Amino acid sequence: MNGKKITLKKTPTRKQNPLDRAHNFFEVALGYNLEEAKEEAKRCIECKKPTCIKGCPVEIDIPAFIKKIKEEKFLEAAEILKKENPLPAVCGRVCPQEDQCEKVCILARKGEPVAIGRLERFVADYEAKEKCQNQSLSKSSPEKTGKKVAVVGSGPASLVCASELAKKGYSVTIFESLHEPGGVLVYGIPEFRLPKEIVKREVEYIKSLGVDIVKNFFVGKTRTVDELMNEDGYEAVFVGTGAGLPTFMYIPGENLLGVYSANEFLTRMNLMKAFKFPEYDTPVKVGERVGVIGGGNVAMDSARVALRAGAKKVTVFYRRTRNEMPARIEEIENAEEEGIEFLFLVAPVEYMGDEAGWVRKAKLIRMRLGEPDASGRRRPVPMEDSEFILPVETVVVAIGQNPSPMIAKTTPDLEIHPRWGTLVVNEKTGATTKQGVFAGGDVTTGAATVILAAGAGKNAAKYVDYYLQNKEKQGIWEKLI
């Protein structure tokens, strides 16, 4: 540590006041200013064997970009980031660094790790303010290979895969079924966590690398994967369609009006701007009392959106305790600060409605924790004769998502997991059971994190390149699967 005293606490980040932010959609975390970023960067001890790089799914050279911050060479820091990840402003905001790069930071052994995510966000935002977002090391035009690759979906896995392949000289086209690119980044994550202008900025950078994006194009309906490959000249396809099919509990009353899947609720609010009705023609009726089912980040997003959309009381119902919640600690704390209530060790068993068919009550049952299940967390066990009723006027079910079955249904030879509906791939290469087709992200794992999807897209791009360079060799696909 060169004899210097190292601060064991992170440099704090400024936030909107909870009383104010609970009623607006502006970004909650305000990020570091220049002095705060330099102060936090000084905490990095520049380890000889930096474990943080291996903790990052896209393997950013973290010590190198932080060193550039110390030297006040912020645009060079941005180049280091974008060399490995074209979405630094996104990942700096929404990735769970506390479970990845920061978790293995050496400083975490004695205090708090370096705030890698906050520094990543600072650098990306600094670059944007300097209007240099397209001036990166990867901007030089590579020699064209003459080969075409189709990328299905435009979420983080697809965006990263497309950018990596474009850097290698492939002609890449992204096909997106919605009217805006970004996948879960635009339909799933609220403005107050990830402003949509940030997503647009990152997408424009990827387009500047030569990637084409075709919107309102539903692969599986507009064209099939086979038609893209056999008729349209695409020699490989990457499927990164995410996990947008909602999961329900199949309990009585779940079809009442006012009971939403988190997918529908957040898509209407985030992508279709329902919170600005009637300026945007996408109404969502949010009652005064809202119940949100689940304990993950999607549940936290749903609860905080409902509050901002006018609910007087929002309660999260979770069947385990706070300690078992899979949501980021930061998001749980933000929700608590904003006045979201939590009711632990309960689960709904029935919803009851009025004569018009609108939900009005939720019957819940109390739970206790039993032995650990497959997730490693203790299994919630219902307690006999413990049911009770609470009034609700809106319910948002946020208990998970699965991949849409459309690609698998319209693509022969693609194997899917019989229970989860995820595409079966080689975990190392991303190759599916159909030659020339790769996949990565939530469509193969189920709902996970942005950075894990980005890592899967980057990894798959490497093997797409290997496949296309060796396509004529006998048995090449067998090596990949």
How many Å apart are CA 156 and CA 162, to the nearest integer?
Answer: 10
Give the C-alpha separation, 160 to 454, whole Å. 6
How far apart (Å, rounded) are the C-alpha atoms in residues 422 and 416? Answer: 5
- Any idea how long the chain is? 481
DSSP 324: G
Q: What is the pLDDT along the chain (481 residues), one digit of tens a residue?
A: 455 677 889 999 999 999 999 999 999 999 999 999 999 999 999 999 999 999 999 999 999 999 999 999 999 999 999 999 999 999 999 999 999 999 999 999 999 999 999 999 999 999 999 865 444 444 567 889 999 999 999 999 999 999 999 999 999 999 999 999 999 999 999 999 999 999 999 999 999 999 999 999 999 999 999 999 999 999 999 999 999 899 999 999 999 999 999 999 999 999 888 777 778 788 888 999 999 999 999 999 999 999 999 999 999 999 999 999 999 999 999 999 999 999 999 999 999 999 999 999 999 999 999 999 887 889 999 999 999 999 999 999 999 999 988 999 999 999 999 888 999 999 999 999 999 999 999 999 998 899 999 999 999 999 999 999 999 998 999 999 9
- DSSP-derived secondary structure for 403-423: --SHHHHHSTT--B-TTT-PB
User: Mind giving me the DSSP string for 341-360?
Assistant: EEEESEEEEEEEE-TTSBEE
- Secondary element (H or E) of residue 79: helix 74-84
pLDDT number for residue 7: 86
Q: Which CATH number fits domain 14-129: 1.10.1060.10, 1.10.1200.10, 3.10.105.10, 3.40.50.300?
A: 1.10.1060.10
In this structure, which CATH number among 1.10.10.10, 3.50.50.60, 3.30.70.20, 3.10.129.10 belongs to the domain 142-244+403-480? 3.50.50.60
pLDDT recorded at residue 273: 81
Question: Under a CB-based contact definition with an 8 Å cutoff, are residues 40 and 114 in contact?
Answer: yes
pLDDT for the residue 1: 47
Q: Give the relative orientation of helices 34-41 and 62-70 as an angle to the nearest 10 degrees.
A: 120
Each as own residue / partner, the long-range contacts of residues 376-383 (CB below 8 Å, 24 or more positions apart, any chain) are 377/320, 377/324, 378/320, 378/324, 380/319, 380/320, 380/345, 380/347, 382/347
- Here the tokens at position 182 are 């970004």
- The whole-number pLDDT of residue 133 equals 46
Q: How high is the pLDDT of residue 375?
A: 77
Strand partners, 313: 289
Q: Find the largest Cα–Cα distance for the chain.
A: 74
CA 132 to each of CA 43, 77, 140: distance values in angstroms, whole numbers, following the listed order: 27, 12, 14
Q: Range(s) for CATH 3.50.50.60 in the chain?
A: 142-244+403-480, 248-399
Q: Is the dihedral of CA 31, 37, 40, 45 positive or negative?
A: positive
What is the structure's pLDDT at 431?
Answer: 97
| Global confidence as pTM | 0.93
| Type of residue found at 185 | L
Q: Which amino acid is at 414?
A: L
**Which residue ranges does the chain devote to CATH 1.10.1060.10?**
14-129
Residue 137: what pLDDT? 43
CA distances from 40 to 7, 61, 173 (A): 9, 17, 39
Sign of CA dihedral 273, 274, 280, 282: positive
Residue type at 362 in one-letter notation = A
For domain 248-399, which architecture applies? 3-Layer(bba) Sandwich (3.50)
Token pair for residue 145? 């290979």
pLDDT number for residue 309: 93
Q: How far apart are CA 471 and CA 258, in angstroms?
A: 52
Q: Are 408 and 416 in contact (CB under 8 A)?
A: yes
Q: Any idea what the Cα angle at residue 298 is, between residues 294 and 300, rounded to 5°?
A: 75
Q: In whole angstroms, what is the distance from residue 154 CA to residue 160 CA?
A: 9
Rounded Cα–Cα distance for residues 359 and 393 (Å): 6
Tell me what pLDDT residue 480 has. 93
Helix or strand run (H / E) with residue 150: strand 148-152
The Cα 113–Cα 87 span in angstroms is 22
State the DSSP H helix or E strand holding residue 19, giving kind and residue range, or none if neither.
helix 18-21
